[in-house]
Structure 1
Amino acid sequence: MLKRFFDLFTALCGLVLLAPVLLIIALLIRLKLGSPVLFRQVRPGLHGKPFEMVKFRTMRDAVDKHGNPLPDDQRMTRLGHILRATSLDELPELWNVLKGDMSLVGPRPLLMEYLPLYSAEQYRRHEVRPGVTGWAQINGRNALSWEEKFKLDVWYVDNQSLWLDLKILFLTVKKVLVRDGISAEGQATMERFRGNDR
Structure 2
Amino acid sequence: MTFEPIVKKPGDVIRSDEWNRIQEELVSLRKYIDNMARGTTLIGLPSPIGNAYALSAGVPEDFNYGTDVMGLISRQYYCGMGETGDICTFGLNDYADTISYWSGAAAGDREALQVTLEYIDGSTYTSDKLMIHEWTNLRPKGNKNPYVEYLQSPNQRLWYRYVLVNPGPDKAIRYITFKDVSKESGVRIANVLHYTARVRQLPEAKK
TM-score, normalization by structure 1: 0.26
State the structure with more CA Rg. 2
Relative to the length of structure 2, the TM-score reads 0.25
Higher strand share: 2
